[in-house]
Structure 1
Amino acid sequence: MQEQFIKYLKEKTQNNTSFVDEIASVLDIGYDAAYRRINSKTSLTLEEGVKLAKHYKISLNNLFEVGSQNSILTELSPPIHNKEGLELYFKQSLSNVLPLTQLKSASIIYSAKDIPLFHTLKDSFLSRYKIYVWLKDVDTNMTKSKVTFEDFIKTIPDSLLESAYKLGEVYKDINITEIWNNTTINGTIQQVLYYFESGTLSKELALLICTDIEDVIRHVEKQAIQQSIIGSKNKAIYNLYINDIHTMSNTIMVKTPYKKVFFTPFTVISYFKIEHQPTCELMHEFFEKQMSISKLLVNAGEKDRSLFFNRMHQKINRLRNRINLNNETFDF
């Protein structure tokens, strides 16, 4: 186990100095003593393991994960119970994503069960509506109350909106690959229909949200055709794959030159963070297999591309008709 732990530390270090010198400095021991520990000729004490874990910013729990084949540890995102919690979530997400914009080879793969978060975080009714829906799910007081969307948008703190917009902007500077299917838009449409029929979303605002959803789909289509993210300072690459076989999961993988990390949904907006590299490699292999049986939209013929996006627009139009008529059954 010590040999695997030392190997893990070597992968974590970004120091240009000798690894032996670094270990000797952290443990306050001589060069020879550090060399013996690195080569497993001398066992690390518990105290030394704790010191190394702190220096390399490794959770002590991860010490038990090293070498494990069937058990891994995950990190749970902070719980969200109200507007303040959601704002903190946006800010923490921004601080996590921002460093990726400094790495040219960093990229994100997104299995899009729903329209990816960053496509909706802009100054629009759709963005405000998404915040409303999330809080209705996680805020007990909002869940019990019948506060309308119209009343809610009058009370959204400017700081919450600003945090959301900043997070949406930072994603423009990262290479992104998304995997969609014909149901990716369904969740957003269902949310609009649900609250419209429950009487907490007015006809006027529901129609404005429909227009915003249309704008997002047009924006995605344009990016998919030109294979680049519109408004990117880093000339970030954008690839959109269409998968007709599997249902997506909203799992996100982040790849850097140093490691892979993926985030998988836990509740409405919270997630598990997995850094265990063998598991990350398995997830990456799964994504590659999904992409191999999917169509890269830019390479698809104009007919296939038009058919896919036309289906999206048809669903939005059926929702719009349902809102206007208020007497027909909605069919996905």
Structure 2
Amino acid sequence: MNQQQKLLKAIRKQIGKSDSINDVVATVLNISYDAAHRRVSGKSKFSIDEAVMLCRQFRISMDHVFEGDNKVLVEKTKEIATFGDLELYFEQSSGYLKQYIGKPGATLYYSAKDIPLFYTIGGTLLSKFKLYVWMNLLIGKEQQEPFEKFVLPVSLLSYSSQLKTVYDAVAVSEIWNDTTINSTLQQILYFSESGLLSMKNALELYEEMRQLMSSIEQKSAENNPDFHLYYNELLILNNNVLVSETEKMSLFIPYTMLGYFITEDQNTCKNAGAYFLHQIKNSKSLNLSGTRDRKIFFNRAYKKIDYYAERLGYEIDPLY
């Protein structure tokens, strides 16, 4: 069976026996009945655009139609080399997530190898620093400019804020461990010791890290059914993101610092969903486990932040 026959078989399965597949194809593709009949009978071929239109209309996975069960077709996020690329990246990412807003059972699962970028979006010094790090590491200039000379386009904040708005509109289940905050802490230390970040700003960033962790601790202590934070001490997390609702799922798999492969292949997403649930089953809920366990986790994070600040020759007063 060729790909066109596979696609038509999948469409027939969707529409049942009551509707004429010729009429359906003609309507979706906005072509004549005769043109649709030629395609259905195999006398002419669907164009790539027509195949995509039909798959989207009937929510058919192109992965299985064109590649089979053991291969999947993936999209990928925008490659980043300029601020304009980063704006498009945020716009594209928020576009993927927007389709889940308001859908029954919409949930975002996040395997947080690093602090989820949604927490470092906004007008704070920490959000600016993370953008500075991303741009330096992604573009890889030989001569890096100091953080204090880094100018952030206003439009970029607007696009990144759209992504955070979408994140705040769906139920979230995040899995963290004791290393989730490590990379950000190390980045602050690295750029400070390299002379690219002033001592004043480095210390302020560590203070903001404490404030961020304090806000997450407070959020996890609230009885909010749309936010769940889990602690897993067994697995190495990978920054995979799964978004699901009752009829659709999307899986985001990182391949660079910000770059993600994206698939909506439902078998792949279901397997990923089962693995997320398995991780959660073997994790400790910081929402439900009680004050003691929650305090133990966050106190370890505060001590780690203090340790990095002390490496710069500064002692932070314990405020939280």
Under a length normalisation based on structure 2, what TM-score does the superposition of the two structures give?
A: 0.85
Task: Show CA shifts across 1:70-113 (max 9, x none).
Answer: 22221121110011111221122223323322324211000000
Contact kept, 8 Å, 2:77 with 2:93, in 1: the verdict is no
Quick one: distance in 2 between partners of 1:106 and 1:11?
26
Structure 1 counterpart of 2:127 = 127
Quick one: distance in 2 between partners of 1:10 and 1:117?
42
Quick one: distance in 2 between partners of 1:8 and 1:224?
44
User: What amino acid is aligned across from residue 181 of structure 1 in structure 2?
Assistant: N
Quick one: distance in 1 between partners of 2:97 and 2:246?
15
- Where structure 1 has 5 or more consecutive residues not aligned to the other structure, the ranges are 229-235, 327-332
Asked whether 1:198 is paired with 2:194, we answer yes
What SS does the aligned partner of 2:101 have? helix
TM-superposed CA distance for 1:57, in Å, is 4.0
Contact kept, 8 Å, 1:74 with 1:272, in 2: the verdict is yes
Asked whether 1:28 is paired with 2:26, we answer no
Structure 2 counterpart of 1:187 = 183
TM-superposed CA distance for 1:157, in Å, is 1.2
Identity rate of aligned residues, in percent?
31
RMSD: 3.1
Task: Show CA shifts across 1:177-198 (max 9, x none).
Answer: 1011111111111111111111
What SS does the aligned partner of 2:46 have? helix
Quick one: distance in 1 between partners of 2:202 and 2:14?
49
What SS does the aligned partner of 1:298 have? coil
Contact kept, 8 Å, 1:150 with 1:202, in 2: the verdict is yes
Asked whether 1:306 is paired with 2:295, we answer yes
What SS does the aligned partner of 2:108 have? strand
Task: Show CA shifts across 1:199-228 (max 9, x none).
Answer: 101110011111211121112112212143
Structure 2 counterpart of 1:276 = 265
Contact kept, 8 Å, 1:227 with 1:239, in 2: the verdict is no
User: What amino acid is aligned across from residue 157 of structure 2 in structure 1?
Assistant: L
Asked whether 1:296 is paired with 2:298, we answer no
Quick one: distance in 2 between partners of 1:200 and 1:81?
20
What SS does the aligned partner of 1:170 have? helix
TM-superposed CA distance for 1:158, in Å, is 1.1
Quick one: distance in 1 between partners of 2:63 and 2:279?
32
Contact kept, 8 Å, 1:177 with 1:238, in 2: the verdict is yes
Q: Which of 136, 153, 164 is matched with 2:160 structurally?
A: 164
Structure 2 counterpart of 1:147 = 145
User: What amino acid is aligned across from residue 28 of structure 1 in structure 2?
Assistant: S
- Between 1:74-83 and 1:166-175, the stretch displaced more is 166-175
Quick one: distance in 2 between partners of 1:194 and 1:171?
30
Structure 1 counterpart of 2:212 = 216
Quick one: distance in 2 between partners of 1:314 and 1:3?
61
- Between 1:192-201 and 1:166-175, the stretch displaced more is 166-175
After superposition, the Cα gap between the structure-2 partners of 1:147 and 1:194, relative to the gap in structure 1 and judged at 3 Å, is same
Quick one: distance in 2 between partners of 1:208 and 1:129?
11
Structure 2 counterpart of 1:321 = 310
Q: How many residues align?
A: 306
Quick one: distance in 2 between partners of 1:28 and 1:202?
68
User: What amino acid is aligned across from residue 52 of structure 2 in structure 1?
Assistant: A
- Where structure 2 has 5 or more consecutive residues not aligned to the other structure, the ranges are 316-320
After superposition, the Cα gap between the structure-2 partners of 1:78 and 1:306, relative to the gap in structure 1 and judged at 3 Å, is same
Structure 1 counterpart of 2:108 = 108
What SS does the aligned partner of 1:263 have? strand
Quick one: distance in 2 between partners of 1:10 and 1:220?
49
Contact kept, 8 Å, 1:93 with 1:167, in 2: the verdict is yes
After superposition, the Cα gap between the structure-2 partners of 1:122 and 1:53, relative to the gap in structure 1 and judged at 3 Å, is closer
Quick one: distance in 2 between partners of 1:61 and 1:255?
15
Contact kept, 8 Å, 2:97 with 2:166, in 1: the verdict is yes
After superposition, the Cα gap between the structure-2 partners of 1:108 and 1:9, relative to the gap in structure 1 and judged at 3 Å, is farther
- State how 1:81-96 maps to structure 2 within 5 Å: 81-96=81-96
TM-superposed CA distance for 1:3, in Å, is 6.8
What SS does the aligned partner of 1:245 have? coil
User: What amino acid is aligned across from residue 133 of structure 1 in structure 2?
Assistant: V
What SS does the aligned partner of 1:144 have? coil
Structure 1 counterpart of 2:318 = none
Quick one: distance in 2 between partners of 1:222 and 1:241?
14
Q: Which of 224, 247, 271 is matched with 1:258 structurally?
A: 247
